Amino acid sequence: MPLDAFSPSATIIGSLTGGVTSVDRILVNRSGQAQAQAAKSIQNLFASRIDGALANLGASNSTAISEQLLRDQSHLISRKERVNQAIGVISQALDQFDYLKNHIDYLQEQITDLENGDITAAELSVDWDNKLRKINQLARVASESIKDGSAYYQKNLINSSSRSNFSTQTLFAPYNSAGDTLQVDGVYLGTDYYITEDSSGDFWNSDTAFLNLEDDVGTLTEYSDYPDTATGQSDTVTDLTLNSYDASTGAIDFDLSGGGNITGVVSGGGLALLDAWVYGDFDSGHADYATNLQNAKDALDAAEGLVLTTQAEFLNDRATLQSRASVFDAQIGGISSQVAALIEDI
């Protein structure tokens, strides 16, 4: 028998099991459990860190996407605001059209009354020139304020700031999110004219349609360089004498009250309704009375046609912009839904 069999620590069970006692097993098992628990703790720690990293990555990606969407939405909102401003400008112009047509209709009726003997030529002349003034007032009030960046500007599609070329403003409005624009060209619907003198090339300008009061009488003034240099020669329009006016060419011949004779070419702007004196003050005793009256009728017909055509164009432009505003609304709302969905997922 081995000597260790007589060891005080040895037991029969220990001998039978090769020296491995229950105490030994407990120690071994506890050591294995500790290792397993440590491994599991490490595994859990790494898993937690990985889950956290993945969550942070997802949140970061979602945040970047949502921020880009919000930038796109802000861009669309800005473009929609500009569309609404453009709609306001067009609407402000359209608000004047019925009044413009009423003034033209009124003058047409007045000519009929003159032919029927219901009013005198002098009465029509005064009424005519006053209507020109009222027409220009309507053109001026069609102005609407719009914002561009941090500044505000006045935009008017039916007025002109130039009395030499009658130029108008142009409106550019956003058409889509890609940056395309809709161009709306202004049309001068006030009335103006000037005369270029044949001999000197001087510029004759009337202020009849720009007076403030009905009782004011217009003046025709000569300029060697408009608007800076007046020659000093002028005459009230009621003292001018028309000799002839060819509406097809613009050629005009008239006398000043002091006896001077002027020949030149009339250039009309906007509705191109001229002062009453250019139609011979509608005097039936004028040699060209029938021609003068027909010139006035033709001018009114042309003016009415321009107003109606422009009105149709502006109505179409406004309808187009209103439809584009609806498209922008849908796009803006769609982005809001996308951002909301991303926020829920984070």
Q: What's the pLDDT at 288?
A: 98
Q: What's the pLDDT at 346?
A: 54
**Which residues does residue 219 pair with via DSSP β-bridges, in sequence order?**
236
Q: What's the pLDDT at 95?
A: 98
pLDDT digit string, tens, across residues 33-69: 555 564 455 455 444 544 444 444 444 455 677 687 7
Asked if the model's pLDDT at residue 5 lies above 90, the reply is no
User: Whats the size of the chain, residue-wise?
Assistant: 346
Query: Looking at residue 134, which CATH number applies to its domain?
Result: 1.20.1330
Identify whether 330 is part of a domain. no
Q: What's the pLDDT at 164?
A: 96
Phi and psi angles of residue 337, each rounded to the nearest 5 degrees, phi first: -65, -40
pLDDT digit string, tens, across residues 279-295: 999 999 999 999 999 99
Q: What's the pLDDT at 41?
A: 58
Query: Using CA atoms, how far apart are residues 234 and 121, in angstroms rounded to an integer?
Result: 24
The pTM of this model reads 0.78
Identify whether 250 is part of a domain. yes
Identify whether 8 is part of a domain. no
Label residue 78 by pLDDT band (50, 70, 90): confident
Identify whether 326 is part of a domain. no
The residue-averaged pLDDT of 179-195 equals 97
Asked if the model's pLDDT at residue 306 lies above 50, the reply is yes
Q: What's the pLDDT at 9?
A: 40
**Which residues does residue 195 pair with via DSSP β-bridges, in sequence order?**
204, 266
The residue-averaged pLDDT of 335-346 equals 69
pLDDT digit string, tens, across residues 152-184: 999 999 999 999 999 999 999 999 988 899 999
Identify whether 26 is part of a domain. no
**Locus of tokens 């009124």:** 106
Domain count across the chain? 1
Contact 328, 175 (CB under 8 A): no
The domain in which residue 127 lies consists of 73-319
Q: How far lies 313's CA from each of 86, 205, 307, 317, in Å? A: 14, 31, 10, 6
Is residue 12 packed enough to be buried (19+ CB in 10 Å), middle (13-18) or exposed (0-12)?
exposed
Asked if the model's pLDDT at residue 199 lies above 70, the reply is yes
Identify whether 136 is part of a domain. yes
Identify whether 64 is part of a domain. no
Give me the torsion for CA of 224, 229, 233, 234, rounded to 10°. 110
Identify whether 15 is part of a domain. no
